[in-house]
Structure 1
Amino acid sequence: MTPFGRTFRLVCDDPAVPVVEGLLRAQGFDFEPEPFFVHARRLVREPFPLGESLAARFGLVYIQDRSSMLPPLTLAPPVGASVLDMCSAPGSKTGLLSRLVGPQGFVFASEPSADRLATLRANLRRTGSVNTATAKAMAQDLPFADGTWGHIQLDPPCSGWGTVDKNPKVMEVWSGSKTAPLVALQKTLLEKAVALLRPGGVVLYSTCTTNIEENEDQTAWALETLDLDLAPLAEPAGFVFEPPHRPGLDGVLRVAEDSDGQGFFLARFTKRGAPSATPVAPAQKKDLPGTRLNLAKMVGGDGLDLTRLPRGEVYDFGGKAFFLHERALALMPDSLRWQGFPLGKVAGKGDRAKFTPGPLARMLLAEDPARAACDVFEADDTGILERLLTGQSVPFRQGGGSVGLYYRGLAVGWLARKGGRVLWSAK
Structure 2
Amino acid sequence: MAQLPLQFTEYTRQLMGAERFGRYLKSFEEPAPVSIRLNPKKMSEGRGQRLEVIDGEPVAWCREGYYLKQRPNFTMDPLFHAGCYYVQEAASMFLDEVLRQMHNAYVNHQPSAIRPLTALDLCAAPGGKSTLLRSALPADCLLYSNEPIRNRASILLENVTKWGYENHLVTNCYPRDYRKAKMKFDLILCDVPCSGEGMFRKDESTIREWSPQQVEKCWQLQREIVADAWACLNEGGFLIYSTCTFNTKENEENIRWILNEYDAEVLKVEIKPEWTITGSLLEGFQEPVYRFIPGISRSEGLFVCVLRKRGVAAHSQRHYGSSPTTLRLVANDITARHEGALPQAGLSYEDALKFLRGESLVLSGDVPKGLVEVSFMGKILGQVKNIGTRANNLYPKPWRIKTTHIPTAYEPILKKI
Determine if the TM-score, normalized by the shorter chain, exceeds 0.5: yes
Distance 1:62 1:229, change over 3 A: same
Partner of 2:329: 339
Distance 1:338 1:238, change over 3 A: farther
1:177 CA drift (Å): 3.6
Whether contact under 8 Å (1:36, 1:238) holds in the other structure is no
- The answer to whether 1:88 aligns with 2:124 is yes
Whether contact under 8 Å (1:198, 1:275) holds in the other structure is yes
Distance 1:85 1:262, change over 3 A: same
Larger mean CA deviation between 268-277 and 392-401 belongs to 392-401
- The answer to whether 1:218 aligns with 2:186 is no
Residue 385 of structure 1 is aligned with which of 345, 352, 355? Answer: 352
Distance 1:210 1:19, change over 3 A: farther
Partner of 2:385: 416
Q: TM-score, normalised by structure 2?
A: 0.74
Distance 1:403 1:234, change over 3 A: same
Q: TM-score, normalised by structure 1?
A: 0.73
Q: Secondary structure at the match of 2:275?
A: coil
Partner of 1:15: 44
Partner of 1:31: 56
Residue 181 of structure 1 is aligned with which of 209, 217, 222? Answer: 217
Distance 1:56 1:424, change over 3 A: farther
Q: Secondary structure at the match of 1:36?
A: coil
Whether contact under 8 Å (1:36, 1:237) holds in the other structure is no
- The answer to whether 1:157 aligns with 2:182 is no
1:421 CA drift (Å): 3.7
Structure-to-structure mapping, 1:245-394, within 5 angstroms? 245-246=281-282, 247-258=284-295, 259-277=297-315, 279=317, 281-283=319-321, 285=322, 333-339=323-329, 342=332, 344=334, 357=335, 364-366=337-339, 372-379=340-347, 381-390=348-357, 391-394=359-362
Residue 68 of structure 2 is aligned with which of 43, 47, 50? Answer: 43
Whether contact under 8 Å (1:132, 1:340) holds in the other structure is no
Structure with greater strand percent: 1
Q: What RMSD, in angstroms, separates the aligned Cα atoms of the two structures? A: 3.0
Partner of 1:228: 264
1:217 CA drift (Å): 0.9
Aligned positions, number? 350
1:233 CA drift (Å): 1.6
1:80 CA drift (Å): 6.4
Whether contact under 8 Å (1:90, 1:117) holds in the other structure is yes
Q: Secondary structure at the match of 1:394?
A: coil
1:416 CA drift (Å): 2.3
Larger mean CA deviation between 236-245 and 108-117 belongs to 236-245
1:255 CA drift (Å): 0.9
For the residues of structure 2 that align with 1:408 and 1:237, how far apart are their CA atoms?
Answer: 40
Q: Secondary structure at the match of 1:179?
A: helix
1:161 CA drift (Å): 0.4
Structure-to-structure mapping, 1:192-211, within 5 angstroms? 192-211=228-247
- The answer to whether 1:106 aligns with 2:142 is yes
Whether contact under 8 Å (1:135, 1:339) holds in the other structure is yes
Distance 1:191 1:75, change over 3 A: farther
For the residues of structure 1 that align with 2:67 and 2:273, how far apart are their CA atoms?
Answer: 14
Q: Secondary structure at the match of 1:267?
A: strand
Whether contact under 8 Å (1:68, 1:93) holds in the other structure is yes
Residue 396 of structure 1 is aligned with which of 330, 347, 364? Answer: 364
1:98 CA drift (Å): 1.6
